[in-house]
Structure 1
């Protein structure tokens, strides 16, 4: 993916990325709208790979499973349709990493340390906002999610500055329950 000009996102400006999302949601997309969606997804691969490497480094020597997930095209389209006010450029879970811990204490210690880590990536949510352990979802799901905004000093990374990634923290038991729900 080529480097972008300041203020540009993969696929063009934020406005153009959102317009493509709106056209797709409304069922009136041009071929270029799908191309923009794919460019947007592709840009998140860099952020996903960077965070996955960072998390693996921070969990080295611990009994923690680190996995990554790249939201599929149809899942993005479904989310845009379920949430009519959602803007594609604001969707914060196009890329995601999941950390699976042995127990809740290990999870809480890691997350607390990660929040205090010395890097430029910005935590976008209040620490308790997506705490589904303290406040489970109606279907019983438990886990904690954080959203980070990607930020680095490197010339190559500048093209992806501002893209977001979701981190999911679960214990091994919460993960077993959550994956048991999936088809």
Structure 2
């Protein structure tokens, strides 16, 4: 299909006039325009991979073409921007361990590529909602295409994917619209992005959002439902795949499909989009991917784990102790129940941390670890030891927390029968989970 820059500009104008509605002919034109970025994107990705490896070999690098629905939404959101000048249709994201590596990458990119436009440094000054990272546009001199490169630390990336998970589960648009889309959730994400001690009021807002939106329980349920099934899909596609099509949903298990040929992968993406223009689908490539890498890079699509579930524990403990300090027993009990749900999720994650392992329950209630391949006796011992060490750490942390609770109750003279029964009941459940080490290994058929 032959087209000019003017054709693409006019296509964008039609999308605005028609309020996002697009006929089949125009959709085909938009898809051809997207695909025209494939070759320069792939070549830039290969060059950046070499640069990334020199700075952080463990870092994650992935590329994607902007989803059709996201392109349309951006055109509608910014009607004065010409579609043929949209700079982030082709995008590469690099996730590194720390800020020092982040700026080394930036220096290397500005040295080795032709920079196009202004470098947006949100790492030094984050967006109001809390987003951090560096956005830089480079130009492929052979075809004059612009490619956006996003640089993030693992910490800022984890935060950004949590925002997108919130958007998916609660039907918000915080990523696109920021604070204004939902003030409560916007402030919540802004607060958890900060590397500072929270004030009482700030910690209170975080808990109020957790409670109001049933946040921990909802995330835990989604993660536990998805983990085994997505991992099984990953093991099937991994050996032959270079490109990954991920389709996510708030009410069903994500679909993960691998392709060795990019053109076929892109064709499948386009066919799925035409069937359901609201579907959340991304086509990506990751250099030397593992299940851990794809789960981190696309946590908002895989929906099987997020580090937030580990990080929020300290805040919940502090709020629970504060409630006791103020002799607010009902509030303490609510917070402790949330803490208990968090522990259940953490324990599940410990058992599923190995890429080749799935978790099931036997008729006796034991946890059964299964694999798609036979696990040697030596490997079983290694896995069991890893699980036991992590459970011991979690158990030790829980017992310290319980000791702090009991000491505070004695100090404040608030130890009573109601509290004693509550703590005995809920702490017993946590302890039971922590002691669930009757693990069997089986080979899946």
The question of a shared fold, defined as TM-score above 0.5 by the shorter chain, is answered with yes
Q: Which runs of 5+ in 2 are unaligned?
A: 166-445
> Which whole-Å CA distance do the structure 1 matches of 2:53 and 2:126 have between them?
29
1:23-102 matched pairs, under 5 angstroms: 23-27=14-18, 29-60=22-53, 62-102=57-97
List alignment gaps of at least 5 residues for structure 1: 1-9, 153-160
TM-score (norm: length of structure 2)? 0.35
CA contact (8 A) 1:150 1:163 kept: yes
Distance 1:11 1:122 in 2: 27
Q: Which has the larger radius of gyration?
A: 2
Residue by residue over 1:35-78, the C-alpha shift from the partner in whole angstroms, topping out at 9 and shown as x without a partner, is 22111101112122111111112223522210112111111000
- Bigger drift between 85-94 and 48-57 goes to 48-57
Equivalent runs, 1:110-129 vs 2, <5 Å:
110-117=105-112, 121-127=113-119
Residue 33 of structure 1 deviates from its aligned partner by 2.0
Other-structure match for 1:134: 124
The whole-number CA distance in structure 1 between the counterparts of 2:10 and 2:27 is 11
Q: Is the Cα–Cα contact under 8 Å of residues 95 and 152 in structure 2 kept in the other structure?
A: yes
Number of residue-to-residue matches in the alignment: 161
Matched, 1:16 2:7: yes
**1:94 positional shift:** 0.4
Q: Output the CA distance in 2 between the equivalents of 1:71 and 1:105.
A: 28
CA deviations 1:97-152 (Å, max 9, x no partner) are 001111100111121122112xxx5211234xx11112211211000000111113
Please state how far the C-alpha of 1:30 moved relative to its aligned partner.
4.7
Q: Is the 1:23–1:33 contact (alpha carbons within 8 Å) kept by the matching residues of 2?
A: no
Q: Which has the higher helix share?
A: 2
Match of 2:140 in 1: 150
> Following TM superposition, by how much is the alpha carbon of 1:11 offset from its aligned partner in structure 2, in angstroms?
4.9
- CA distance in structure 2 between the aligned counterparts of 1:72 and 1:58, rounded to whole angstroms: 27
Aligned residue number for residue 156 of structure 2: 174
Cα offset, 1:32, TM superposition: 2.8
When the two chains are superposed, the root-mean-square deviation of aligned CA atoms in Å is 1.7
- 2: distance between equivalents of 1:101 and 1:22? 38
Maintained 8 Å contact 1:93/1:166: yes
Which residue of structure 1 aligns with residue 275 of structure 2? none
The structure, 1 or 2, with the larger RCO (C-alpha pairs under 8 Å, 6+ apart) is 1
Deviations 1:78-109 (A, max 9, x none): 00000010111100000100011111001111
Whole-angstrom distance in 1 between the partners of 2:131 and 2:53:
27
In 2, the alpha carbon distance for the partners of 1:21 and 1:126 equals 23
Q: TM-score with structure 1 length normalisation? A: 0.81
